[in-house]
Amino acid sequence: SLRLYGLILTIIMVVKFILVDLSQENSITRVLALMFGGLICFGISVMYNKLNKIIEKVS
């Protein structure tokens, strides 16, 4: 349940980042920020899947 809470919190923060924080930036800054945010989300996804596999092996 803690992992689900973290996942939901991350989704909320990404939506806030896109809608609020980037609304006043120019196009290049927005593109770079969204690419960086996407890379962070991809990294979180990779770590989540690796941890899930480790937990399944232990159980």
Please tell me whether residue 25 adopts helix, strand or coil conformation.
coil
pTM of the model: 0.67
pLDDT (average), residues 19-40: 83
Q: How confident is the model at residue 50 (pLDDT cuts 50, 70, 90)?
A: very high
Confidence (pLDDT) at 48: 87
Confidence (pLDDT) at 36: 86
Q: Where are the domains of the chain?
A: 2-58
Burial 1-14 (b: 16+ CB within 10 A, else e): eeeeeeeeeeeeeb
